[in-house]
Structure 1
Amino acid sequence: METRVLSYFLMVAKTNNITKAAEQLHITQPTLSRQIMDLEKELNIKLFNRENRRLQLTKAGILFQQRATTMLQLLRQTENDLHQQTAELTGEISLGSAVSNASPYMAKLIYKFQQKYPHVSFNLFDGDGDILRRQLDEGINDLVCMLEPVEAAKYNFLELPVREEWGLLMNKDASLANHQHITKEDLYKLPLILPYRSIVRDEVSDILKLDQTRLNVRATTSLPGNSIALLRNSNYYALTIKGVYDNFHDPRLTFVSLTPNKSTGDVLAWRKNTILSPAIERFLQFVNEEVQES
């Protein structure tokens, strides 16, 4: 079965008319009709219902249309990837990242990578862990940088040389702003803003042996921007990572760590069983080399 014939079939399926499809393909109508009939004979199945000079896909034809489209897309992608193996590296990489200390680390790596490969561009996205996972699963992002834990059954990942310290972010005028550490007994007395992701709340609670039913939760947030706005104008306290404080550099706020100390690692993750472009593969190799050197 030739790829040329697959293209012929898809054009006929698109137009539902042999004559129109032949015009689009710049071949004669008898030649196209013969190619489609030969294809049906080769597959030993009827792909079109022919009524009143109009063609309609059969159920088998609809399935074959989906598979033929996928086959041609994979072939074109393979051809592009093969050319990139010998030509100068080009392409786009979509990278999502949580707001954390990993953000400036990855920014430095992107800059350093583009010094070597200036024709590779990046599409950058922000999000919390749930958003990033969904974007990764849907193919919106090729790679995501997020906090542990990671579902090892679904994703490959590189551990980054970055740790995130947990604590409370608060207004500098807050009553606990001068404390060295925050205890779980302190947490029970405070109006809190917590992370939206329950898996994060549970992990911190396990470390501190917290009874979450005793917490005074005023709000939850997926991204830090909204909690920052609340903290500037209230006596609320946000349970978050120090990376948020480091990224925003707001002089009106301060960060106090928890005791016992709780820290979380950052990872760069991508989907398993996915064909990666040469640009993505080279970037992952580059990141791994940088991590090993660290």
Structure 2
Amino acid sequence: MSPLPTTSLRVQEPHILFGMEIRTLRHFLAVAREENMTRAAAQLHVSQPTLSKQIKSLEHELGHALFTRRSFSMELTEAGRLLCDRADDLVRLADRITQDFRALDEVTGGDIYLGLAESHQVGMLAREIKRLRQECPGLRYHITSGDTEQVTEKLDRGLLDFAALVERPDTDKYEFLSLPTTDTWGVVMRRDCELAGKEAVTVDDLVGLPLFCSEQSWARDIPRWAGVRMSDLRLEGTFRLAYNGSVFAHENLGYLLTFDHLVDTSPASGLAFRPLSPALESRMYLIWRKQQVFSPIAQRFLAQVRTSLADDAAPDTAP
């Protein structure tokens, strides 16, 4: 039998990625964060000349200057900002690989990475994490918040185990579970405005008013509700976070289209929430990549969520 062909990929050196060492990328990120070579060197416990040599070598390898050097500070160039974004993902992925292999021997612990959209339904996932942590005290969980584009990008890169989205997932790419409740759409506005006196808000009520909404929802959710009247509605500004939109609504700059329960609309807040009419609701889904290989703790979390959903769906047979 002929010998197996050799390969340049050496398993004993998983820290080498695309010719760059993860350690070098960590050092680059430290300089980018501190904006000062001396402070970064002190933080990393290396000499300033050694760190400076590493950065210059990295710039030579990439063929681009990564920093604009000033008397007492360093500022990222456009190429530096690009590398900063990519390097952060590579470092996180390298850390995940290390953690996942360590977790193979952990019976009562490990790391779970979740990307969450804004919704009160994440409470169900928080309760599942709490339950699992009671059984697995070594559980460590990491939460990333954002809209669909932000969290699915990280999921696709392997930086997350699961994502929770408030829109139906692409079934060609993802497996999913439907969470049991829905989010109710409505309008957040100042409590003293005329529209707050209504029990519900119609399309006619919103025509001509300055509206705030997430860019994603304005394109995908609100048209389901407004239909042919969508062109009559005026988008004043977009917000990825409902809280930020509510601040602008409180300043009487517009009306925020969002889910119930996301911002404080108690009497003391000065804001009010009124549901849309006809009602508009959105369901949340827990998704993961097809053919994804989970760590033991992530497998256990998924199994627990499945069981909880099945228990909630089971008919009550008690007399």
Same fold (TM over 0.5): yes
SS in 1 for 2:262: helix
1:218 aligned partner, one-letter code: E
Structure (1 or 2) with the larger CA radius of gyration: 1
Aligned partners of 1:80, 1:9: CA distance in 2, in Å? 15
1:112 aligned to 2:131? Answer: yes
- For the pair 1:267 / 2:285, whether they are aligned, the reply is yes
Q: In structure 2, what is the Cα distance between the partners aligned to 1:141 and 1:249?
A: 38
> Cα offset for 1:145?
1.3
2:207/2:232 contact within 8 Å kept: yes
Q: Does 1:150 align with 2:181?
A: no
Report the TM-score when normalising by structure 1: 0.69
What letter matches 1:175 in structure 2?
Answer: E
- Secondary structure (helix, strand or coil) at the match of 2:261 reads helix
CA distance in 2, matches of 1:78, 1:176: 52
Cα contact 2:166–2:283 (8 A) shared by 1 = yes
The structure, 1 or 2, with the larger RCO (C-alpha pairs under 8 Å, 6+ apart) is 1
State how 1:193-232 maps to structure 2 within 5 Å.
193-197=212-216, 201-232=219-250
Runs of 5+ in structure 1 lacking a partner? 15-74
Aligned-pair distance for 1:208?
3.1
| 1:135-284 mapped onto 2 (5 Å cutoff) | 135-197=154-216, 201-245=219-263, 251-284=269-302
Q: Which moved more, 1:218-227 or 1:282-291?
A: 218-227
CA contact (8 A) 2:100 2:111 kept: no
Match of 1:72 in 2: none
Number of the residue aligned with 1:48: none
Q: 1:210 to 1:194 in 2, by over 3 A?
A: farther
What is the identity, as a one-letter code, of the residue corresponding to 1:282? R
Residue 291 in 1 paired to residue 309 in 2? yes
Once the two structures are TM-superposed, the CA of residue 2 in structure 1 deviates from its matched residue by 11
Q: Quick check: 2:100–2:295 contact (8 Å CA) kept in 1?
A: no
Distance 1:10 1:262 in 2: 53
SS at match of 1:205: helix
Structure 2 distance, partners of 1:181, 1:195, is 21
* Percent identity over paired residues: 27
1:125 equivalent in structure 2: 144
User: How many correspondences in the alignment?
Assistant: 229
SS in 2 for 1:265: strand
Distance 1:162 1:265 in 2: 7
Residues 95 and 142, structure 1, Cα contact 8 Å, conserved in 2: yes
| Secondary structure, counterpart of 1:168 in structure 2 | strand
Cα shift readout 1:154-173 (whole Å, capped 9, x = no counterpart): 11111111210111111111
Q: 1:181, 1:258 within 8 Å by CA — same for their partners in 2? A: yes
Superposed CA deviations along residues 177-216 of structure 1, whole A, max 9, x for unmatched, are 1211111111213210022115x53333123324332212
How far is 1:103 from its partner?
A: 2.3
Q: Distance in 2 between matches of 1:113 and 1:8?
A: 33
- CA distance in 2: counterparts of 1:112 and 1:168, whole angstroms: 34
Give the partner amino acid of 1:138. Answer: R
- Aligned with 2:235: secondary structure? strand
- Aligned with residue 110 of structure 2, among 68, 82, 91: 91
Q: 1:134 matched to which residue of 2? A: 153
Give me the whole-angstrom Cα distance separating, in 2, the residues matched to 1:137 and 1:247.
Answer: 36
TM-score, L = length of structure 2: 0.64
Superposed CA RMSD: 3.2
| 1:153–1:278 distance in 2 versus 1, CA, 3 Å | same
Q: How far 1:231 sits from its partner (Å)?
A: 1.3
